[in-house]
Amino acid sequence: MTTDQPLLSHDASKSPPQGRPGRGFVVTFALASLGLWIATLTPVIVSLPLKVAEINPDRSSQGTTLSVVLGVGAVFGILANPVFGRISDRTTWRVGMRRPWLVIGALLSLAGAVVLGLSSDVGLATVGWSINQIGVNATMAVLLATMPDQVPAEHRGRISGLFGVTQAVAAVLGVALVGGLSQVSLMLAIIVPTTIALVLVTIAAVVLPDRRLTRAERPAFSLREFAGSFWVDPRRFPDFGWAWISRFAMFMAISFVLNYQIFYLTSHLGLTEAEATDLVPAAIGIQTVVVVLVSMTVGPLSDRLRRRKVFVLASALVASAGLAIVAFAPPDPASVPLFLLAMALLGLGQGTYFAIDLALVADVLPNKDQDAAKDLGVLGMANLIPQSVAPAFAPLFLAVPLFSLTDRAGQNYTALFLVGVLFAVGAGLTILRVRGVR
């Protein structure tokens, strides 16, 4: 795809996309996805916990502080996802429906990163993280809408697998980048990932083809319609509902590890903060290699076999095995190899799940022509709500008073990750209820 390709008219955009997506679309979509994942994952894995530790040196309450910042930011991300999706679906600008909101969202995320980097207390850090989450999630909802806009159903497994690859690669690149920058300046470690996202997303906004809606075709605005931005009736669209629940459950399982792995390594396994910070890139690297190999294989394979659900079920069970290993690893530095094995299994499960899940959801969207971005925004809420719910409930599980399972700091990570096992199994079982996809 090139920049001189004419924008699709709205009438043309109502026709299902035809043919295999071109190399230009694939490369540009992949780069934009990579940038967005770098901006999304690296703060959660490294720079945000380091910022929390800078603001609050008391290690015993750092987990609670991180939960507050993550939880409030997730609420704003939840709101932004479907709202910006709805706005994108109703945009009548000459440049297209998706292009302007890709850039606007990326600019918002950068502004939030600047506020977060300059913050010196929990309140300002929460404001900055919230602005960042609004921007990142608005951009993600709009970018994902380009897949049902431009990619036929029989080729979506390939693009979904590519999306999973970029997520894994972004974690490695982002963690390596932030790990180096944090030694120089934590401010740079926070700002640079979102700057990369802005550049790559802006390239996508210029290069990718776009749909265009005329003012005459745009539905009239109403408060009832706006409220509907946050809802897809599961009674009318049960397949979408079950897919949403499955994704929610998987992200709940992953959130426990993703958000708390540094604290798990220091509090449960007894590593120093420096040792934990050094180990995380290795763990992410192992996970990424597995995710990339699986995503590149499973996505196209599901297209050829025309089957999605069996892969999702298998991925959830494998991820649950990884979580179980983390849960029962003895609270000792000697358990680091078990932790790395668990991360490999999580990578296998996560890579398989995300190689298929996006393609499956795109196949069951209620209204691909008029509400693709909005409905994908609703789906995005399944990613984001766990970022708020998991940190809110994690302290309850960490405080479960089973002395034999608690670590040196009295934290029960066994209970926390066993809850993750239950969510992972639930993610696999609920996807079996989807009827419109094999």
At residue 421 the predicted structure's pLDDT band, cuts being 50, 70 and 90, is very high
CATH number reported for the structural domain that contains residue 100 in this entry:
1.20.1250.20
232 in any annotated domain: yes
- Report the domain count for the chain: 1
Ramachandran bin of 270, using left for φ above 0, alpha for ψ from -120 to 50, beta for the remaining angles:
left
At residue 403 the predicted structure's pLDDT band, cuts being 50, 70 and 90, is low
Percent of the chain with pLDDT over 90: 21
Which stretch of 2-6, 73-77, 182-186 has the lowest confidence by average pLDDT? 2-6
Coil vs helix vs strand at 95: coil
**Beta carbons of 45 and 175 less than 8 angstroms apart:** yes
Mean pLDDT across the chain: 81
At residue 280 the predicted structure's pLDDT band, cuts being 50, 70 and 90, is confident
42 in any annotated domain: yes
297 in any annotated domain: yes
Coil vs helix vs strand at 368: coil
| Mean pLDDT within 19-43 | 86
Percent of the chain with pLDDT over 70: 87
Closest C-alpha among 41, 58, 182, 51 to residue 115: 51
pLDDT in tens, 68-93: 888 888 888 888 878 888 888 888 88
Phi, psi (degrees; rounded to nearest 5) at 92: -115, 15
**Beta carbons of 288 and 166 less than 8 angstroms apart:** no
1 in any annotated domain: no
Q: Identify the pLDDT of residue 39.
A: 92
Beta bridge partners of 191: none
pLDDT in tens, 302-320: 878 878 888 888 889 999 9
11 in any annotated domain: no
Q: How many CB atoms lie within 10 A of CB 15?
A: 9
d(CA 271, CA 229): 45
- Domain extent for 145: 16-213+223-431
pLDDT score of 287 more than 60: yes
d(CA 54, CA 383): 27
| Mean pLDDT within 401-412 | 65
**Structure-token pair, residue 167:** 């997520």
pLDDT score of 283 more than 90: no
d(CA 170, CA 193): 10
Closest C-alpha among 114, 107, 147, 149 to residue 129: 114
Non-local (6+) Cβ contacts of 234 within 8 A are 240, 241, 242, 244
Q: Identify the pLDDT of residue 389.
A: 80
Q: What is the DSSP string of 185-225?
A: -HHHHHHHHHHHHHHHHHHHHHHS--B---GGGSPPP-HHH
Q: Identify the pLDDT of residue 405.
A: 64
Coil vs helix vs strand at 8: strand
Using alpha carbons only, how large is the chain's radius of gyration in Å? 21
pLDDT in tens, 372-381: 667 777 777 7
**Structure-token pair, residue 128:** 């900055």
9 in any annotated domain: no
User: 85-116 b/e with 16+ CB inside 10 Å = b?
Assistant: bbbbbbbeeeebbbbbbbbbbbbbbbbbbbbb
Q: Identify the pLDDT of residue 334.
A: 86
For residues 257 and 247, the model is more confident at 247
**Structure-token pair, residue 404:** 């034999």
Q: Identify the pLDDT of residue 425.
A: 93
Q: How many CB atoms lie within 10 A of CB 193?
A: 30
Q: Identify the pLDDT of residue 191.
A: 93
Q: Identify the pLDDT of residue 406.
A: 60
pLDDT in tens, 166-176: 877 887 788 88
**Beta carbons of 265 and 122 less than 8 angstroms apart:** no
**Structure-token pair, residue 91:** 């945009």
**Structure-token pair, residue 421:** 């096992």
4 in any annotated domain: no
pTM of the predicted protein model? 0.70
For residues 254 and 31, the model is more confident at 31
5 in any annotated domain: no
